[in-house]
Structure 1
Amino acid sequence: MKKLGILSALLILFVGTSLQAQNEKDQKIIADAEVAMKSMIAEDQGLEDFFSESAGYVIFPNVGKGGLIVGGASGNGVVYENGSVVGMADLKKLDIGLQAGGQAISEVIFFEDEAALADFKQGEFEFSAQASAVVVKSGKAENAQYKDGVAVFAMPKAGLMAEAAVGGQKFSFKPIQ
């Protein structure tokens, strides 16, 4: 009976620690997303309209990508609805083609309406090979438009990558409890 009590205590401690670590990880990603949002707006004031007028958006503050012929990217992000955090997201990308190098970027996806945001939250959202992001530079956001209910912006952070590749991005969503 004593062994069962010790095992139960260890299990509770392990689960509690895992939940706390997950919350700390999410909190770090949320803090990084806020910094990325401010950096993007500082770089291009036109993004303020997208942040204030979209039904929602997801910010991936740290996306790492790299490749040599076959490439990939991944990152964790924060999903906002009406300006409030509603969940966390993962980004995965795999592509093939002429490419070499590595790069770190911040990426934001704006959802024009509730239907586009709902598709993302239900896991029914992915980008095809034809999708492209507008690079965040002063004045670019003014002329950017939604395509199929989304607008995507990327801001390079570090590294250099040359690519002419075909691939797509897949996403997952986890609501905040």
Structure 2
Amino acid sequence: MKNLNVIWMMAVVFVMSTASVLGQSEAKKNKIIADSKMAKAEFIKADALMKDLFENAHGYVIFPNVGKGGFGIGGAAGNGVVYEKGKIIGMAKLSQLSIGFQAGGQAYREVIFFEAKKDLSRFEESNFEFSAQASAVAATEGASANVKYAEGVMVFTALKGGLMYEASVGGQKFKFNKL
């Protein structure tokens, strides 16, 4: 029974991670863009100081709806919008696989700020991924005040709902598609 759960979860993660942003309909892209604008407003509402980050970063990617779940083996996936100097330049796909003690599911938003052109370019080449050691800051009032770029990136998340217990190891991988 446990082996069947593991195989099922791996199949779900595989399907989520291989779905292409390019294959999305125009209506779905427009929904993701609208959701990213709303997520940006929610990040700024949670921490007004983030407005400066959005205005001063060379670029950023917003994943407005990331779903995460697991039981032993877990995964997460979401689609996002990539901005350079405040203008949309492409769409992105986030996928994550994790192994360890975890149970439950949750939904969250994620924004990644890029300090310079070279950092955004690394993301655009789809060579960008976070290891298990990468950390994100929860977007709460004043959270961005003392956060600094680490290797040209800064990451914030905001929980939307759900409950998940987790002590796992994993990483996020990204795929960029230029518009």
Interval containing the TM-score (normalised by the shorter chain): 0.7 to 0.9
The answer on 1:149 being equivalent to 2:152 is yes
- Residue 115 of structure 1 is matched in structure 2 by 118
CA distance in 1, matches of 2:132, 2:138: 17
- Residue 8 of structure 1 is matched in structure 2 by none
User: What's the TM-score once normalised by structure 2's chain length?
Assistant: 0.86
- Residue 35 of structure 2 is matched in structure 1 by 32
Structure 2, unpaired ranges of 5+:
1-21
CA distance in 1, matches of 2:164, 2:48: 26
| Sequence identity (%) | 54
- Residue 132 of structure 1 is matched in structure 2 by 135
CA distance in 2, matches of 1:44, 1:117: 23
3-state SS in 2 of match to 1:118: helix
Matched residue pairs, number?
158
Deviation at 1:124, TM superposition (A): 1.3
- Residue 109 of structure 2 is matched in structure 1 by 106
**Structure 1 or 2: larger helix share?**
1
Larger Rg over CA atoms? 1
Q: Which portions of structure 1, spanning 4 or more consecutive aligned residues, are displaced by more than 2 angstroms?
A: none
CA RMSD of aligned residues (A): 1.3
- Residue 93 of structure 2 is matched in structure 1 by 90
Structure 1, unpaired ranges of 5+:
1-18
Q: Which amino acid aligns with 1:99?
A: Q
CA distance in 2, matches of 1:22, 1:77: 14
User: What's the TM-score once normalised by structure 1's chain length?
Assistant: 0.87
